[in-house]
Amino acid sequence: MMQRPGIKEVAKKAGVSISTVSRVLNNSAPVSEELEKRVKKAIEELGYYPSSIAKGLRKGRTGTIGFILPDITNPFFANIVRGAEDYLRKKGYNLILCNSDQDRKQETELLKILISKHIDGLLFTGTGSSNPLLVEKIRKGLKVVFLDRIFEEINSSYVIVDNKIGMNLLLDYLIDVGHRNFIFINGNKETFSAKIRYEVFAERARTEKLEFKHYFTEFSYDAGYKKAKRLKGLPDVILCGNDLIAYGVIEALEEKGYKVPEDVSVTGFDDIPFSKHFKPPLTTVYQPMYEMGRKSAKLLLEIIEEKKVSNKGIVLLPKLVIRESTKEMRR
């Protein structure tokens, strides 16, 4: 565990009493300008953090939060990280990131490393539907907030987006403008988000009597590209598990000489920052990525600082974003 200077060291260095330092930190009572200057100078020179981190250290915390995520090259996660990081920094915590690369073994390995490095808590977006080591560690008291994807077997705090609403908004629109024949190129079979989107889709397909094929692949550009390369015949619309899959699908379709949306509509999921400028601009479901990151960091600190004892789930709302990769069907 790292050593950080405390309020005592600041008082000593500034040549003032601890209560003077405390008054400066908390603005709780007037202090002369000169004393305030000396205290602030000492704080800066010592690299002392006021506020939560100081409180944390008194209880043996390290001021470090871990974040295991499945794909650092997906801007969806990069923007979640930014939201989490902005919040944590303001509170005096630092974030260390580990990329599992959608590999369960790797995820377990990274989890071991983070635990060995004394993190105060963990933000976690899993690659599959469980991870026995993580479940065990949570039961033993590891403080975790699940992000975007939850494990069904354990009751834990989480921040997710309502996938049901997102999928239904998208399907309402597509059905409304005349799409009847669907191919759904979905993400990783084991993930909560891919599973729930498939369930919503299958249910709608049944009640609306849609024709469809569904494939689980991976939440990546390459997976979309490869799957679309092998497709024979085109549906009205190719639904993709996320924006990256959609980009890969569009690339493959273009290489095969098809035009989007003239020959086939394509949709994504996430609305990563580039999707607006993609060619063609992508019809997709916006997920509040930055907000997810921020809210999960806030929730985790509440748990660490023991303001929350029971688990809490936060569900954010997605939005449908209609752009130019889909068209109205003429029938």
Residues at the site binding its own copies, with contacts judged by CB under 8 A: 1-3, 47, 63-64, 72-73, 75, 78-79, 81-82, 85, 89, 94-99, 101, 106, 109-110, 112-114, 116-117, 221, 247, 250-251, 273-274, 277-281
For its own copies, give the closer residue by CB, 201 or 288: 288
Least distance from its own copies to the Cβ atom of residue 246, Å = 11
285 and 319 in contact (C-beta within 8 Å)?
yes
Least distance from its own copies to the Cβ atom of residue 172, Å = 27
Q: What are phi and psi of 172, to 5 degrees?
A: -50, -50
For its own copies, give the closer residue by CB, 36 or 109: 109
Least distance from its own copies to the Cβ atom of residue 114, Å = 8
For its own copies, give the closer residue by CB, 89 or 259: 89
For its own copies, give the closer residue by CB, 72 or 322: 72
Grouping H, G, I as helix, E, B as strand and the rest as coil, residue 267 is: strand
Q: Tokens 């849609």: give the residue.
A: 210
Least distance from its own copies to the Cβ atom of residue 46, Å = 13
CB neighbour list of residue 306: distance below 8 Å, 6 or more residues apart: none
Least distance from its own copies to the Cβ atom of residue 24, Å = 20
Least distance from its own copies to the Cβ atom of residue 116, Å = 4
Comparing CA positions, the residue from 249, 189, 184 lying closest to residue 214 is 184
For its own copies, give the closer residue by CB, 48 or 198: 48
Triad 40, 297, 43: Cα angle to 5°: 10
Least distance from its own copies to the Cβ atom of residue 227, Å = 18
For its own copies, give the closer residue by CB, 190 or 251: 251
The CA distance from 106 to 308, in Å, is 31
- CA quadruple 111, 115, 119, 120: dihedral positive or negative? positive
DSSP 35: H
Least distance from its own copies to the Cβ atom of residue 82, Å = 5
Q: H-type helices in 117-220, by residue range?
A: 132-139, 163-176, 192-208
For its own copies, give the closer residue by CB, 43 or 171: 43
Q: What are phi and psi of 173, to 5 degrees?
A: -65, -50
For its own copies, give the closer residue by CB, 85 or 148: 85
Comparing CA positions, the residue from 257, 253, 247, 286 lying closest to residue 269 is 286
The CA distance from 68 to 98, in Å, is 5
Looking only at the bridges linking them, the beta strands covering 284-286 and 319-321 are antiparallel
